[in-house]
Structure formats: C-alpha cells, structure tokens
Chain A
C-alpha cells in the first residue's frame, strides 16, 4: 500500500519548536512586562499610566518622538519617491546595479552609520569643512547633537524602508496603462500625476506606516546624533531602567509603545494584506 503523508493533517511537528521557543522567550517576557506595568509603588495599579499621560517630561518626550518621527517620514517620502521612481524605470540590469546604493546602507550597521554622520555633521566634519572652503573660516553650522542631527540620521536609516514598498508597487503597475494614456495624447507629467502616482498610493502608505512605526521605537540614532532635548520614547525607557531603576515606568512606556506600534501594523496589514510583511520592504 502506498503511504502518502497527509500534510494538511499534521504539520505540528515542524511548527512546534519555534512555537515553544517564542512562547517561552517572547510571549512570557512580554506578559511579564504587562504585569510589571501595573506594579506601582503607590497610587494604585494605573498610577504608572496616569503619570505617562500627565507628566510634563513624558508628554514632552512623546511630543518629540511624534515630531521627529513625522518630520523624518515626510522628508523620507520626498527623497525616497524619486529614487523609487528612477529605479522602476531602469532596465533590470541597471536596476540591480542601482539597488546596491539602496541595499548597502540597509545592511550596514546602524552604529557605523551613526559614527559616519558624527564625522560628517560634526563641528570639524565634512560639511563644515566644505562650508569653510566657500564661506569664512569661522563659519559653522550646527547639525550634530541637535534636532537636525537626529532627523538627518533617522531619514538616512529609514530611506530604504520607504523606497522598497513604493518600488515594488511601481513595478507591478501594468505598463499598458501608461502606453494607452500616451497614445491618447497625455504628456509625461499628466501620466504621472493622474495614473502612476494615484496607483502608487498604497505603496506610499505602506512606506509611511513602516517608517513611522520604526521611528517611534528608535533608540540609537536620537541617543548618538540628537541632543538632550531630542530624547525619544525608547531613550526614556532606557533612562528609567538604567538611571532610576524604575521598572514600572519603563514597562508602562513599553506597553504604550507596543500598543501604538501594533495599531499601526494592523493598519498596514489592512492596506497590503499579509503579503505586506513579507514583501513590503524587509528582504
């Protein structure tokens, strides 16, 4: 008798190892964080959350995080869309070459990038060096350890995450649409604004959401390239753990961040379907 395995019936043996692993090392710890967020010194279990939404310092950090995140995301869109568009209109061979420009920073360590920007943006760095060539010897522009530094660093880090979803969308657009419009007399600009761009909006929205989610959790870049006034959410969590050993507040902030990120990801899955996680810019 030929024995055919019934795949549908029992793939469990293959799924079990990772399931057990994640349950033990990810799920349990996160549940512990949730519990910790309610373990306050005094004021009842919700004191931590109350403080998160009323303390001026934390509201300031929240405002910073949103401001930096939104500003960076807009700049990223302005720089990233032309790149994605350019890539989409290249021949496949040239595109592979130019993709190296996008993938190299994607796979470069965030610390290398931060160090490089510290060199480029610093008081005696490349930008000021060039500035002094054209202006006076004392000229200098402060682009490091302030909001500008944080935004520049963040923009650079997140650019590939905006480019990839838009590019994948543009590549999927049927070229016949543009051909038809051209044949009917539309100019290039008209074709772009009335056909290409509207169709690309789902890619744009995916990119915006991904960049926003990632910028909310940013830790290294604001710490290394921003100033004291540019602390973001993640830096605050680090502060509570390292400086004040206040595990409760750290947990509270973590859960708030987790909830906001999850809502944004849920919105992203709506826009793209679950394929969005896999093809929306990760690999």
Chain B
C-alpha cells in the first residue's frame, strides 16, 4: 500500500472497536434466542427451540406478525406503483420546478416520523378510519415510497435510453414503452426498492404505534409494548427472526444487483 495511504494502528483499533459496537446488538440476541428458560440469561444454559415454539404457538404474537406481513405486502405494491412512475416522470421529464417536485416527493424521508404519525392520527380520526388496516397501509406507503423513488431514479439513470428511442421510432406509445421496455430493464431496481419498502414497512414502529388499534396491531407495536412492560425472552426469538429477515433482504438485493 502507498505510504501516504497507510492506516495507522490507532485508526485501525478505533475502527474495529467501532465495527464491534455496530454489530454487537444484532448478534447478541441470537444466542439468547436459543435458550430455554423464561428468564433473561446470557449465556443461555441449554440450547433449545423453546422460545421459538413459544412465539409460533402464541396468537398474541402470530396475529401481529401476520398483520405486519399483510400491511407490508400492500405497502410494497403501492409504493412500487407510485414510486416507479414518479421516478420515471422525474428522470425523463424536463420541466421548471423539477427540483421542488423532487424534494416534495422525497420529503417523507426528512419529516420526523412522529410528525407524520400525529398528522395521520388526527386526520384518520376525522375520517373515521383511525385504527384500521387501510390507515396503516396508507401511512406506511407514505414513508416507503421515497425509497422506491430513489432506487428507481438511480436505476433509470443507468438504463440506456436508446432502447426507448428505438421503440418510439417503431411507433410505440409512451405508456406502452414504459410498461414493456422500461420496466423490464428496471427489474433490479424494482426488486431492490420493493424489498427495502417491504422491510421499512415491516419494521416501522412510530407510525404504527399511533395509527393502529389493538385489533390491527403490527408486530413492532407488539414488541414495543412488550419491551416496555416485561422484557420477555420470547423477544429474543422475535428479534432473531427479524434480523434474519433483514439479512435475507440485503443478500437478495445485493445478489440481484450484482447479476446485472
């Protein structure tokens, strides 16, 4: 390595301390989840799937988990539909005020989620859909769509516009081109954006805490209440499952993007 770019040992030490600090929490829950007592012990005394069984047999855990899956699936569908089309308009369009529109579309990323949560709570109460699954899907779509927009915009910039021009010259209309030429070329960006949208919705807690009811509780809301009132070891099993989900999503996205 060039001398001026060599990393000193203090930097190396500091960096590795940092890496350990970063991954420690994600990893620590995994061994605990294979314990078999109903108390919090680390390291666990025996290895078993007791806690996982407890999770899967308990409707007060599985119902919110299923609800989270439903909400996340609908959210992903809407986020992809709204976000991909918007990204296409932003990248291929050329109009005054494009920057403002882009900032507006990406704004949910920078508005604190507590602000959005309160706003939706008041709004849905007025509309009498507070506490409904519809409300949850709408709220999650708001915060997930900007990520799809960013992913799609970056994907669109990497597509050769010649394909679209060729289709135009052959007489295809704009909508046809978008659906039959652009979208297939965008597949990695769509898969990536979609998976991230799914994960964001699945893990979203603040919005769900405000907008859900006892009947429509999502998994993060159940976890939040659970951590507040009684640190049950079942949480370790739930946490490990969620971490596994995050890892799978990241791997799939990395794999899909590497292929292209």
Contact = CB atoms under 8 A, between A and B. Distances in A.
Chain B residues touching A, majority SS: helix
A181 interface: yes
B77 to A, nearest CB: 13
A4 B168 contact: yes
Contact of B122 (A15, A29, A110): A29
A156 B29 CA distance: 16
B17 to A, nearest CB: 8
A25 B110 CA distance: 16
Interface stretch (A41-49, A53-61, A79-87): A79-87
Given A15-B101, A25-B142, A274-B103, A98 B18 contact: no
Contacts of B61: none
B120 to A, nearest CB: 6
Nearest to B126: A32
B223 interface: yes
A141 interface: no
Contacts of B107: 22, 26
Given A224-B227, A283-B151, A7 B93 contact: yes
Chain A residues touching B, majority SS: helix
Contacts of A17: 81-82, 85-86
A113 B88 CA distance: 36
A21 B145 CA distance: 11
Interface in B189-224: 196, 199, 202-203, 205-206, 209-210, 220, 223-224
B186 interface: no
A201 interface: no
A178 B4 contact: yes
B53 interface: no
A261 interface: yes
A107 B205 contact: no
Contacts of A214: 112
A56 B147 CA distance: 39
Report the interface size class on chain B.
35 or more
Given A15-B90, A104-B247, A188-B4, A282 B147 contact: yes
B174 to A, nearest CB: 5
A124 B37 CA distance: 15
Contact of A116 (B28, B90, B114, B121): B28
A103 B21 CA distance: 13
- 3 shortest A-B CB distances, which residue pairs? A217-B112, A11-B93, A14-B89
Interface of B: 2-8, 11-12, 14-15, 17-19, 21-26, 28-29, 32, 40, 42, 81-83, 85-86, 88-90, 92-95, 99, 101-116, 118-123, 126, 138-139, 141-142, 145, 147, 149-151, 153-154, 168-169, 171, 173-175, 177-178, 196, 199, 202-203, 205-206, 209-210, 220, 223-224, 227-228, 231, 235-236, 239, 242-243, 246-247, 249-250
Given A124-B40, A217-B113, A257-B114, 17 more contacts: A3-B168, A15-B93, A17-B82, A17-B86, A21-B82, A22-B142, A83-B15, A83-B19, A107-B249, A108-B25, A109-B203, A112-B243, A113-B26, A213-B110, A217-B112, A283-B147, A283-B151
27 contacts: A11-B88, A11-B94, A21-B141, A26-B108, A29-B116, A33-B118, A33-B119, A83-B15, A104-B22, A109-B242, A111-B205, A112-B26, A115-B231, A119-B42, A122-B40, A126-B28, A129-B42, A182-B4, A188-B6, A216-B112, A219-B113, A223-B228, A234-B114, A254-B118, A261-B110, A265-B110, A283-B151
